[in-house]
Structure 1
């Protein structure tokens, strides 16, 4: 069984968020995009639904966390190489993201992070399973 994941993220400015992620090389599925939501295609089975805050609130009665002071999740993207990790984070920062902490390098695991325009945390990482310690 193949499972797809659709992560729903509230955004303050849908057009700016779509432009940001487009600069990172991701595409938007226009069939599931309108004035209230943008369907960001991360891979064949991973999508992020960028929802205006009012649309996001239709799914929950809970408050949207203030990303300046709290984190609800860290979205981790496994990439094929260390170079891809560096490239993605460099594109994100050039497009307006911040890098909340420096790179981590454990030999078999390399990662960097960025906070997108709305403060959502993303972790880009590469791992060499053959080099995992016992």
Structure 2
């Protein structure tokens, strides 16, 4: 199973405060342990919402809203994709989150990533999805 580990934004991340050298070292060490265990598939920090946009649809019509967005607690500052056998395994990994992040005051959300089986794909939909995954992997090899 794969899980999305979401580091929620806070006032500092939304203000564009860059991480300290200590936090970069701590996060790199934390992430390296996950990579060495073979459980971390990807991850990255995100720039503040002021550098982003939202696209909302009403009756199929898109409307673009430029950042920043008001509620920092509803935003994300970074993410990791983790492979694990259970939600509890991921919770146990997150318990070791670096205390230097957010001065020890961060919120992490963990969500299981839905699979084709979870979503009820038909055989044709699964085949189409598999072809897209194969195309993406081939493109990354180039």
Interval of TM-score (by shorter of Structure 1 and Structure 2): 0.3 to 0.5
Larger relative CO (CA 8 A, sep 6+): 1 or 2? 2
- More strand by proportion, 1 or 2? 1
Normalising by structure 2, we get a TM-score of 0.34
Normalising by structure 1, we get a TM-score of 0.35
State the structure with more CA Rg: 2
